[in-house]
Structure 1
Amino acid sequence: MSDPTYPLFPICAFLGFLVAFIPLPWHIQAWNAGTCLFMFWAGLASLNQFINSLVWHSNISNPAPIWCDISAKFIIGAGVGIPASSLCINRRLYILTRVNTVSITVKDKIRNVYIDLAIGMGLPILVMIMHVVVQGHRFNILEDVGCIPVIYNTPPAYPLVFMWPVVIGCVSFVYAGLTLRAFLRRRASMSDILSANTTLNVNRYFRLMLLACIEMSCAVPLTAFSIHINTSGVSLAPWISWADTHFDFGRIDKVPSSVWRSDHAFKVSVEMGRWIYPTCAFIFFALFGFASEARKHYRQAWVWLAPRIYLSRFLPRFRTAHSPATSCQPLRVTPRGPIHRSAHRL
């Protein structure tokens, strides 16, 4: 039983990959490491799912085992990377509400970028490494979905892998609450503080807060639900040893869609796990892809590109309102997948 909605998902996943990176240039210019990391995880995770949905449409072959090793491991990282990026955003907003001025030095900006990279990139990489401890076998392949990671349902799996999105989401929740409280206390002076910042205005501040609040409100309940439906029906096995957990590690389970779709709970888990990435990308684009700075960059890109693709006849109005096309320079250029249940020893 193939996916009746095909090719809806690959189209949405590819569009999610594209729109996630559209606001990247001006967020790099603004030193917004948290939003760049959000774009990185949401965009590349959408691309990963797009490739998988094409390659494994209506088949369970294994033409690219190395790709599956990378793809399955990346899914683990993206499940932590998106909430970790949201934590970076919440942390930055909280810092802004606590200082008397947002005019910081380049050294301070670099230090904040390093801290954000440690949170938004270091934590996901750490979890990907720790996943090896409870990785029951190499990976699974689901028809119409592609490669998915495997976690042996044993007690160490919870502190090593499962708990991280929940913990990060809770920390983000605390930061968001503190940010909102500080903002309400200082709302009279926040406009003046933000107006002194060349990279963060009031509108962008509220869009960042809205993005962080949306992700924060969804992270904990979705992750808890994901853990529940992925472990329900799978007995909790005791941890015996490394050798026991990794017995027959090279095995690759291939599951036809008629089998995994017959399990309603698992079907919900799988579909939620792959749709969450393009959804995050579209939410990000909806918040930042139509802002004033985004429209400004679209105009600049159009004025630069149009003469090169023989569309200069559409440019007179732009030349009058803005600079001549010949003077424009090219632009310079970042569920939560649930962690699927292990078929280990089933």
Structure 2
Amino acid sequence: MPFQFKMKNTPTCIYIFWLALASSNQFINAIIWNGNTVDLAPVFCDISSRIIIAVNIAIPAASLCMMRHLYNVLSLRAMQWSAAQKRRELYINLAIGLGIPILSILSYYMVQTSRYAIFEDIGCDSATSKAALSILFQTSWPLFVGVVTSVYCVLILHHSAKNYAEVRLYLKTADTKQYIRLAILALINIIATISLSLWIIIVEVQPENLGPWLGWAAEHADWDDIFVVTYEEWNSCLSQASRWFTPMCAFIFFAFFGFSNEMWAGYGRSFHAASSKIHSWASWVRGTPKRAEQSVLPIQSGKGPSDLPMYHTSQSTRHSLASAFLPDFSFAPFDSAISLEEKYPTSSAGTLSVGSLSWDEYLADRDLLSRPATTYHFSPLDDSMQSFSYTQGQIPQI
């Protein structure tokens, strides 16, 4: 549906809409009334029975819209349409694909004997009178639409044979496979619709199945009496064919359009989006969100170019064993970095002091003057002391 809607293919969108609605309705009915005829959902049956009435004519009407679309394309009329003509064609397709089914629902009330009927294993269905008027208002509609669709099919074949060169030139520059699939699908629907409609009409015109129309009051006298039919009563070849008509149309449509290159591309995008959502959800459940990349920013400790750079990361500071024996040279945060001179100011004589003690007093107090010098190697990726090594000699006096 999204691809056909993007291509502004109104006839195919109408066809998909009615197939989806009919299949969903039939699926729900088959589940609820599997092996029983109990009136479980009266309101749902009121809606469901009218959907069935609409679908009986909606699928042939959608096939008519598709055949008209093919005729307009192959006759090259659509190439010369203005915006107003395209809008008018849209209204015509909506009138055929949606207006005719709605009109059939309204006419159904003329021959409706009760609210609905319940068939075992099928579900809710229409309760149509056996009067001859029901053939005019209900049964003959799909046959009439199928005949009109067949006329368009003949016109397409005639125009293609008459203007073969122009049609062939156009098909070279257009999506030929798309039109071929539409044509074959419409032909199959024509054959199935006309055959099934003729079969139903022939059965209904039999003397034992046909009666007079008794009038408005008589036809609606038993309005609240729900007609119940068991599986043994309705099971026949005609009933089974009517039951499987909609699923057959859905399977055929998917066989023609569900494996095209455009649909495979759409399947790939949908699968990728679904897998990304599932992966994000699984990561959230496990509580292991993605680790943010840690950036390292060099920060100049002072104003002069010779000052050593200071490094800041988002990690918390880790303290090593050596940090317990040395002054606090920990790095300041990014927004509050200070220079070494500001943290350990020098005296007026130019010697480095730690608090109120000079550097020599500080080292002597900690008995560090007699110890071997220790060289610390700092890594710019970590603000802790990664390793240290001993060198010979004494710490020089400052």
TM-score in terms of structure 2 length: 0.66
Distance change >3 Å, CA 146–CA 234, structure 1 → 2: farther
Within 2, Cα distance between the matches of 1:184 and 1:193? Answer: 14
Within 1, Cα distance between the matches of 2:112 and 2:78? Answer: 48
The answer to whether the Cα contact below 8 Å between 2:33 and 2:121 also exists between their aligned partners in 1 is yes
Report the CA distance between 1:176 and its aligned residue: 0.5
Match of 1:308 in 2: 277
Match of 1:12 in 2: none
Within 2, Cα distance between the matches of 1:251 and 1:293? Answer: 51
- Partner-residue secondary structure (3-state), 2:276: helix
Instruction: Name which of 184, 187, 191 aligns with 1:213.
Output: 187
Q: Deviations over 1:54-112 (max 9, x none)?
A: 00011110010111111111111101000000000111111112226626444333221
Percent of residue pairs identical: 35
Within 1, Cα distance between the matches of 2:127 and 2:28? Answer: 19
Instruction: Name which of 126, 139, 147 aligns with 1:162.
Output: 139
Q: Deviations over 1:255-279 (max 9, x none)?
A: 2223333xxxxx2232222211111
1:62-141 equivalences under 5 Å are: 62-99=39-76, 102=79, 104-141=81-118
Match of 1:329 in 2: none
Within 2, Cα distance between the matches of 1:150 and 1:281? Answer: 25
Are residue 296 (structure 1) and residue 270 (structure 2) matched?
A: no
Structure 2 letter corresponding to 1:77: A
Structure 1 letter corresponding to 2:234: W
Within 2, Cα distance between the matches of 1:102 and 1:30? Answer: 15
Structure 2 letter corresponding to 1:143: E
1:4-83 equivalences under 5 Å are: 24-83=1-60
Match of 1:247 in 2: 221
Instruction: Name which of 122, 126, 132 aligns with 1:145.
Output: 122
Within 1, Cα distance between the matches of 2:77 and 2:123? Answer: 51
Match of 1:279 in 2: 248
Distance change >3 Å, CA 224–CA 302, structure 1 → 2: same
Report the CA distance between 1:196 and its aligned residue: 5.7
The answer to whether the Cα contact below 8 Å between 1:142 and 1:254 also exists between their aligned partners in 2 is yes
The answer to whether the Cα contact below 8 Å between 2:130 and 2:211 also exists between their aligned partners in 1 is yes
RMSD of aligned C-alpha atoms?
A: 2.0
Distance change >3 Å, CA 220–CA 101, structure 1 → 2: closer
Within 2, Cα distance between the matches of 1:234 and 1:25? Answer: 48
Within 1, Cα distance between the matches of 2:219 and 2:36? Answer: 29
Structure 2 letter corresponding to 1:215: N
Distance change >3 Å, CA 80–CA 44, structure 1 → 2: same
Distance change >3 Å, CA 135–CA 81, structure 1 → 2: same
Within 2, Cα distance between the matches of 1:156 and 1:52? Answer: 28
Match of 1:19 in 2: none
Which has a greater percent of strand? 2
Distance change >3 Å, CA 249–CA 101, structure 1 → 2: closer
1:313-332 equivalences under 5 Å are: none
Within 1, Cα distance between the matches of 2:77 and 2:138? Answer: 39
Are residue 268 (structure 1) and residue 237 (structure 2) matched?
A: yes
Which has a greater percent of helix? 1
Within 2, Cα distance between the matches of 1:59 and 1:100? Answer: 54
Q: Which runs of 5 or more structure 2 residues have no equivalent in the other structure?
A: 281-398
Within 2, Cα distance between the matches of 1:294 and 1:110? Answer: 27
Report the CA distance between 1:307 and its aligned residue: 2.0
1:198-237 equivalences under 5 Å are: 201-230=175-204, 232=206, 234-237=208-211
Distance change >3 Å, CA 162–CA 139, structure 1 → 2: same
Within 2, Cα distance between the matches of 1:128 and 1:231? Answer: 22
The answer to whether the Cα contact below 8 Å between 1:191 and 1:202 also exists between their aligned partners in 2 is no
The structure number with the bigger radius of gyration is 2
The answer to whether the Cα contact below 8 Å between 1:69 and 1:139 also exists between their aligned partners in 2 is yes
Report the CA distance between 1:195 and its aligned residue: 5.7
- Partner-residue secondary structure (3-state), 2:270: helix
Within 2, Cα distance between the matches of 1:42 and 1:32? Answer: 16
Distance change >3 Å, CA 54–CA 101, structure 1 → 2: closer
Within 2, Cα distance between the matches of 1:41 and 1:122? Answer: 13
Structure 2 letter corresponding to 1:53: A
Report the CA distance between 1:194 and its aligned residue: 4.6
Report the CA distance between 1:241 and its aligned residue: 1.7
Between the two proteins, the alignment pairs up a number of residues equal to: 280
TM-score in terms of structure 1 length: 0.76
